[in-house]
Amino acid sequence: MPEKNMLEVNHISKAFGGIKAVDDCSLCVERGSITGLIGPNGSGKTTLFNMVTGFYPPDSGTISLNTQPIQNLLPSQICHRGIGRTFQITRLFWKMTVLENMIVPVRHTGWRTLFSRGVKRHEEERAMELLDLVGLTQYRDEEAGKLSFGQQKLIEFAAILMSDPELILLDEPAGGVNPVMIEKIMELVDDLNQQGKTFLVVEHNMRLVMELCQQIVVLDHGQKIAEGKPAAIQNDPIVLEAYLGSTNHAGT
């Protein structure tokens, strides 16, 4: 009987030099949900992502996936546990082809697979399926660095699906992308969610957040200041204060 909460973050903190990027923050991501993580710039969202995916350990607190603690694991181990993640500034293997970018994340299961052929038939098929999902099959042999910004974002997203993650962390999927592409991304996330995937989405685009997310967590200065359904968050005076009171505005 799977846990209701897929991801549990308990009282984690992280300081860099003297600055507390995340301060005693706790949140849960329900299985099968699309949870939004919002807050003004500098509120600690990406730092939180980095801790969940293992790039640095929290100074204190615990992070669990399906009740198993993961805060001290390597990023690659966390990936194997079923968490996939995109980056705020898209990261791909620029000099590799799109297809190769799709193949790298494939989970291999042991020593034999390590030294086996680079691109297997069934992996190639799956990669093409996913490329078809994002409508980019014709670019399979193109150098990733040569694609447009929006296309690169889609490739990054499609590639992490290759390892079939249960929980997907999206860091500003709509950042710097045109409205048509935003629609496309929203559709994709919704479809995948219907198929059972859980999402945690950092976004500044309020329309996307309010329409897509079933649950929203709000951070400010590294702390959680609000949590709830989109309608409640939209009208929460504390949240409005955090956004309007800070020097950086959230865009729409």
Partner 1 sequence: MKRLLSSNCLWITIVLLILLIFPWIQRSQYSQHVMVMTMMAAVLASSWNILGGYAGYTSLGHAAFFGLGGYLVALAHNHFGWHPFISTWFLAFIVTGVALILGWISLRTQGSAFVVVTIAMVFIFRIVALNLASITNGARGLTQARPGWAGVPWSPEFIKIPFHYIMLLLLCLTIFVSWRIRQSKFGLGLIAIREDEGKAEAVGINTMLYKVLAFGISAYFMGVAGGIYSYFFTYIDPQFIFDIFTGVTMVLIAILGGRGTLWGPVLGAFIMEPLGNWIIGTFGGTQIHLTIFGAILLIVMLFMPQGILPTLSEVIRQRGKVKLAKVPS
Partner 2 sequence: MTVPSTHLLIQTIILGILVGGVYALMASGLTLIFGVMRVINVAHGAFLIFAAYCTYWLFQLVRLDPIISIVLTAPLLFVLGWVIQRYILSRIESPERSSVIITFALAVTLEGLMGTLWKTTIRSVKPEYASEVLKFATYRFPVTRLAGFAAALLVLLILYIILERTNLGRAIRATIQDRNAAQLVGVNVQMVSAITFGIGIATAAAGGSLLSMIYSFNASSQTDWITRVLSVIVLGGMGSLPGAFIAAIILGVMEQLTAVVLTLYWSPIVFYLFLFLTLIFRPQGLMGTVVREKA
Residues in contact with partner 1 by CB under 8 A are 53, 55, 74-77, 79-80, 84-85, 87, 91-96, 100, 103-108, 113-118, 159-160, 163
Residue 80 interacting entry, from partner 1, partner 2, none, C-beta within 5 to 8 Å by type: partner 1
CB of 21 to partner 2, least distance (A): 11
Q: Which residue has the tokens 């301060």?
A: 23
Residue 231 interacting entry, from partner 2, partner 1, none, C-beta within 5 to 8 Å by type: none
Please report, to the nearest 10 degrees, the dihedral formed by the alpha carbons of residues 109, 112, 114, 119 taken in order. -90
Residue 56 interacting entry, from partner 2, partner 1, none, C-beta within 5 to 8 Å by type: partner 2
State how far the Cα of 35 lies from the Cα of 115, in Å rounded to an integer: 39
Which three-class secondary structure state does DSSP give residue 188?
Answer: helix
Residue 240 interacting entry, from partner 1, partner 2, none, C-beta within 5 to 8 Å by type: none
Q: Which residue has the tokens 């955090």?
A: 242
Cβ closer to partner 1: 31 or 93?
93
Dihedral sign (CA 129, 135, 137, 141): negative
Beta pairing class for 19-30 and 198-202: unpaired
Length of the chain: 252
CB of 241 to partner 1, least distance (A): 35
Binding map of partner 2 across residues 10-49, x = CB under 8 A, - = no contact:
------x---------------------------------
State how far the Cα of 191 lies from the Cα of 167, in Å rounded to an integer: 14
Cβ closer to partner 1: 75 or 228?
75
Residue 43 interacting entry, from partner 2, partner 1, none, C-beta within 5 to 8 Å by type: none
Residue 85 interacting entry, from partner 1, partner 2, none, C-beta within 5 to 8 Å by type: partner 1
Give the CA count within 13 Å in the CB-facing half-sphere of 169. 25
Residue closest to 234 by CA, chosen among 201, 206, 214, 202: 206
Binding map of partner 2 across residues 53-92, x = CB under 8 A, - = no contact:
--xx------------------------------------
Chain centre to alpha carbon of residue 90: 12
Inter-residue contact 115 to 185 (CB < 8 Å)? no
CB of 222 to partner 2, least distance (A): 16
Cβ closer to partner 1: 106 or 182?
106
State how far the Cα of 8 lies from the Cα of 35, in Å rounded to an integer: 13
CB of 118 to partner 1, least distance (A): 5
Does 93 interact with partner 2 (rule: CB under 8 A)? no
State how far the Cα of 170 lies from the Cα of 85, in Å rounded to an integer: 6
Point out which residues bind partner 2 (CB under 8 A): 16, 50, 55-56
